């Protein structure tokens, strides 16, 4: 019932989002706070807690798994589909504040552990394991992350949207992670729990504004480790809270907090996320990535322009003049024989075979249908993200938008697949439609389900509930598959695609190819330039996924998307032209695989990122990383392959449509 209610809430929230998104970007309406509660003004600030994650483990866990203080009236706000798929588990906490009422030292709760009891020992070991792997809290106030800001290199300040639950000093005396911030953390083989936080909430008063009350524009905290006793219970000061690595006996762990409010009129509510985003110094690197990609695009554009304006123009002009009636005149004017003219233009000699249907045309058409669906979904999602609809303030909106769009775009997938398959001369239309609707989504779902089984076994918060899996299957088979059949119906109903030249009955023999015009070297080289345009941007995307950093530069990402689109098209056109000049007319699959091979470089880079940037430990985390990476690689393969194919398809049609063939 809970799953059904959450899905009903998701549907309603989606409709509300569509109807009200035009009034405010990026989405959520502001909340006003006053010292006295009223209809349009709240007096209590509720702090929410989210899942805990780590850069050393792919497995996130819910807040309650670590035996922290719980809210007596625990409530979970409704979560959208994207939040569920990303494993976000938001719930209320016992940290509740009255607006503009500073509280210097407040006890939250005390946890007692007796290692002679199995449950207490298990909870304490799990807490120590979390500190060893540097698991991070993620707290939320008024839909804003509570940040931990600290100084980094060059005097800059970095604001992390999370803070560690504790840290460890190893048996060699080496402080790990956050233990380097305090010289008192110096005992060997000792864990230090951050059981106290100093919270500072910044607000923008509405004295000179049109709205009543105040609005929160910032929330920061400073984690501390304090061993509480009756003497320091009023001041929250004292030695750090230590847990020996080899501990036995009884342990009392008290959690506390202090909160203070600061007023500022310099920060507007609409720009309250800026201090988090500005602290991430990636803008200059992003511009370098864009300029690097533009250089590649200009180089490829120049090459394509040279072919189209010089080589093809000259060849087509000569070829169209060559006929039996004016052959002597051509000899006298150009001193070029008919055979020499034909030798100069090897791509024209295969005009009778260039549109011969490819082998495994069924599979190619299925891939292209799915690639079209992914391409349209990606374009619309990034466009909406650029407008601000899918900003970090709208939690889970990016994934929700992508999934909903994919489900609703089954019609273009079925249409493109059926149209191409019919042009290839295929007759098994039922098999084509079923494969288009089930093959690639089935591979993704199978991989996703296996990864979910591992998450279930590990009791991770990222494990998708069974009811949600059933709902996803319902969206797939109840909406996407019927829409795919509808698109295939219109695709098969349309006439066969008209090609500019006729296909000979007997295939032409392909001459011996040089090393660079053979299929495999050309395909391998074709993916290098598109990958060169995205690999810097790819680093930030992988950081946001696996290192839990906030990604917000959707404008840069959309520019890179357009550059990738152009680069894949131009690189495929160039290689396609070279292969046709070598009289190799098997361009159908080659055009798809040339740009699709970029996904192989993506996989290689992901493996490099795993070993060089991450410190993931454990077999489960490694399998999860590889499993989710394979899903990304498959989607990227279909996406880039489809771009290259249709660019080459347009190019081949263009050049052969102006050639006169007797």
How confident is the model over 533-556, as a mean pLDDT? 80
Residue 107 has pLDDT above 80, yes or no: yes
% the chain with pLDDT above 90: 35
Question: Nearest 5°: phi and psi at 388?
Answer: 105, -5
Residue pair 136/165 in contact by the 8 Å Cβ criterion: yes
Question: Nearest 5°: phi and psi at 98?
Answer: -90, 135
Instruction: Please give the full DSSP string across 190-213, using - where no structure is assigned.
Output: EEEE--EEEEEEEEEE-TTSSSSS
Report pLDDT for 653: 87
Report pLDDT for 12: 39
Report pLDDT for 182: 81
Report pLDDT for 504: 81
How confident is the model over 380-385, as a mean pLDDT? 92
pLDDT (tens digit per residue) in 456-486: 998 888 899 888 999 999 999 999 999 999 9
Greatest pairwise CA separation for the chain in angstroms: 111
Residue 27 has pLDDT above 70, yes or no: no
Higher pLDDT, 68 or 498: 68
Residue 608 has pLDDT above 80, yes or no: yes
Residue 28: which pLDDT band, with cuts at 50, 70 and 90?
low
Q: Which two tokens stand for residue 116?
A: 């002679």
Residue 64 has pLDDT above 80, yes or no: yes
Residue pair 159/279 in contact by the 8 Å Cβ criterion: yes
Q: Which of 84-93, 341-350, 650-659 has the lowest mean pLDDT?
A: 341-350
Q: What is the pTM of this model?
A: 0.84
DSSP 8-class letter at 173: S
How confident is the model over 105-132, as a mean pLDDT? 90
**Closest of 285, 264, 283 to residue 219, by C-alpha:** 264
Omega before residue 299 within 30° of 0, cis: no
Residue 21: which pLDDT band, with cuts at 50, 70 and 90?
very low
pLDDT (tens digit per residue) in 296-354: 777 777 777 776 666 566 655 665 655 444 544 444 444 444 444 444 457 777 777 88
Residue pair 599/640 in contact by the 8 Å Cβ criterion: yes
**Is 585 exposed, middle or buried, given 0-12, 13-18 or 19+ CB atoms closer than 10 A?**
buried
CA–chain centroid gap for 83, Å, is 13
Residue 615 has pLDDT above 50, yes or no: yes
Residue with tokens 């060849």: 315
- b/e 218-248 (16+ beta carbons within 10 angstroms → b): bbbbbbbbbbbeeeeeeebebebbbbeeebe
């Amino acid at each position: 019932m809970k799953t059904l209610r959450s899905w009903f809430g998701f549907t309603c929230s989606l409709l509300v989002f569509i109807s009200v998104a035009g009034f405010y970007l990026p989405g959520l309406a502001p909340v006003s706070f006053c010292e006295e509660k009223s209809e349009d003004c709240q007096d209590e600030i509720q702090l929410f807690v989210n899942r805990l994650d780590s850069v050393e483990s792919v497995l996130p866990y819910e807040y309650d798994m670590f035996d922290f203080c719980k809210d007596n009236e625990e409530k979970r706000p409704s979560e959208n589909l994207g939040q569920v798929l990303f494993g976000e588990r938001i719930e209320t906490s016992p940290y509740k504040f009255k607006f503009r009422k500073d509280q210097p030292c407040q006890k939250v709760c005390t946890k007692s552990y007796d290692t002679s009891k199995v449950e207490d020992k298990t909870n304490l070991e799990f807490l120590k394991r979390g500190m060893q792997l540097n698991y991070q809290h993620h707290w939320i106030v008024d839909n804003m992350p509570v940040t931990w800001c600290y100084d980094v290199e060059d005097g800059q300040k970095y604001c992390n949207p999370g803070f560690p639950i504790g840290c460890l000093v190893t048996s060699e005396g080496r402080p790990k992670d956050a233990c380097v911030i305090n010289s008192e953390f110096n005992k060997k083989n000792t864990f230090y729990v951050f059981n106290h936080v100093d919270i500072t909430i910044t607000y923008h008063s509405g004295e000179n504004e049109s709205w009543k009350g105040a609005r929160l524009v910032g929330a920061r905290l400073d984690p501390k480790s304090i061993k509480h006793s009756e003497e320091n219970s009023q001041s929250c000061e004292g030695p750090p809270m230590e847990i020996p690595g080899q501990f036995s006996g009884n342990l009392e762990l008290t959690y506390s907090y202090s909160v203070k409010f600061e007023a500022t009129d310099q920060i507007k509510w609409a720009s309250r996320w800026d201090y988090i985003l500005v602290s991430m110094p990636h803008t200059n690197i992003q511009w370098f990535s864009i300029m690097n990609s533009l250089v590649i695009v200009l180089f490829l554009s120049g090459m394509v322009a040279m072919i189209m304006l010089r080589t093809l123009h000259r060849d087509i002009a000569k070829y169209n003049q060559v006929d039996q009636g004016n052959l002597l005149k051509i000899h006298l004017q150009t001193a070029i024989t008919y055979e020499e003219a034909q030798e100069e233009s090897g791509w024209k000699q295969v005009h009778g075979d260039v549109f011969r249907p490819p082998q495994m045309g069924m599979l190619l058409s299925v891939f292209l249908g799915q690639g079209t669906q992914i391409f349209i979904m990606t374009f619309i999602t990034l466009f909406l993200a650029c407008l601000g609809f899918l900003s970090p303030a709208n939690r889970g909106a990016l994934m929700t938008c992508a999934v909903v769009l994919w489900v609703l775009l089954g019609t273009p997938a079925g249409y493109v697949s059926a149209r191409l398959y019919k042009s290839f001369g295929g007759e098994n239309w039922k098999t084509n439609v079923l494969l288009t609707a089930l093959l690639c989504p089935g591979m993704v779902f199978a991989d996703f389900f296996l990864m979910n089984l591992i998450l279930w076994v590990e009791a991770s918060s990222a494990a998708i509930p069974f009811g949600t899996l059933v709902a996803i299957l319902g969206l797939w088979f109840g909406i996407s598959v019927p829409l795919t059949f509808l698109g295939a119906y219109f695709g098969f109903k349309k006439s066969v695609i008209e090609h500019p030249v006729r296909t000979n009955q007997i295939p032409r023999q392909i001459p011996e190819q040089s090393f660079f015009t053979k299929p495999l070297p050309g395909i391998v080289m074709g993916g290098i330039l598109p990958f060169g345009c995205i690999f810097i941007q790819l680093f930030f995307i992988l950081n946001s996924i696996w290192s839990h950093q906030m990604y917000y530069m959707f404008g840069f990402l959309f520019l890179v998307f357009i550059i990738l689109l152009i680069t894949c098209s131009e690189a495929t056109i160039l290689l396609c032209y070279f292969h046709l000049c070598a009289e190799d007319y098997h361009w159908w699959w080659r055009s798809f695989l040339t740009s699709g091979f970029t996904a192989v470089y993506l996989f290689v880079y992901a493996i490099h990122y795993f070993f060089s940037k991450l410190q993931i430990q454990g077999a489960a985390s490694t399998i999860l990383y590889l499993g989710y990476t394979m899903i990304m690689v498959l989607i990227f393969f279909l996406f880039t392959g489809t771009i290259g194919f249709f660019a080459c398809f347009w190019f081949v049609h263009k050049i052969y449509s102006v050639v006169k063939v007797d």
